[in-house]
């Protein structure tokens, strides 16, 4: 649930990275199938580990959106890593958002994986140059 973006020409700005993060959110919203999230939603809301913590029913879609609004950017010499914050917790709980995202993305013995995060991040990563062109055109 992270992507590395090579920027050997040092052309990507903070504003472009914000634009790219918004594209990740947009692609997720466009691609997600709520029906495929339902088994995870039932699981996390009925499992004693979570049920005792949640004050109200937690829609899986909401948790996914929380994750996408908590993307961090790590800058290296000639690349960036965009990833879901591994520290951020679901409000009023001790449950890390990434824990639920990994469950959805990878599944477990009881739940078939729904690799929506992998699919979205890979798509955005393979289309970075197209997004950059779109960003540059939008600036002018």
pLDDT in tens, 59-97: 899 999 999 999 999 999 999 999 999 999 988 778 899
Phi-psi region of 10 (alpha: psi -120 to 50; beta: other; left: phi over 0): left
pLDDT at residue 102, rounded to an integer: 97
pLDDT in tens, 91-137: 877 889 999 999 999 999 999 999 999 999 999 999 999 999 999 99
> Is the confidence at residue 138, as pLDDT, over 90?
no
pLDDT at residue 55, rounded to an integer: 60
Number of domains in the chain: 1
Model confidence at 140, in pLDDT bands (50, 70, 90)? very low
pLDDT at residue 94, rounded to an integer: 81
User: What whole-number distance in Å separates Cα of residue 124 and Cα of residue 122?
Assistant: 5
Domain that holds residue 71: 2-139
Q: Give mean pLDDT, residues 33-61.
A: 80
Sign of CA dihedral 88, 89, 90, 95: positive
C-alpha dihedral (121, 31, 40, 119), degrees to nearest 10? -30
Model confidence at 57, in pLDDT bands (50, 70, 90)? confident
> Is the confidence at residue 43, as pLDDT, over 60?
yes
């Amino acid at each position: 649930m992270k992507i590395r973006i090579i920027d050997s020409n040092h052309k990507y700005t903070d504003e472009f990275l914000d634009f790219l993060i918004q594209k990740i959110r947009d692609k997720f919203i466009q691609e997600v199938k709520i029906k495929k999230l339902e088994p995870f939603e039932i699981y996390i809301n009925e499992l004693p580990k979570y049920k005792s913590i949640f004050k109200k029913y937690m829609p899986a879609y909401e948790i996914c959106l929380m994750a996408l609004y908590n993307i961090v950017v790590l800058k290296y010499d000639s690349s960036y890593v965009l990833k879901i914050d591994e520290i951020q917790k679901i409000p009023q709980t001790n449950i890390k958002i990434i824990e639920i995202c990994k469950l959805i993305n990878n599944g477990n013995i009881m739940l078939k994986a729904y690799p929506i995060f992998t699919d979205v991040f890979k798509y955005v990563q393979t289309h970075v140059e197209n997004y950059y062109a779109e960003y540059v055109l939008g600036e002018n």
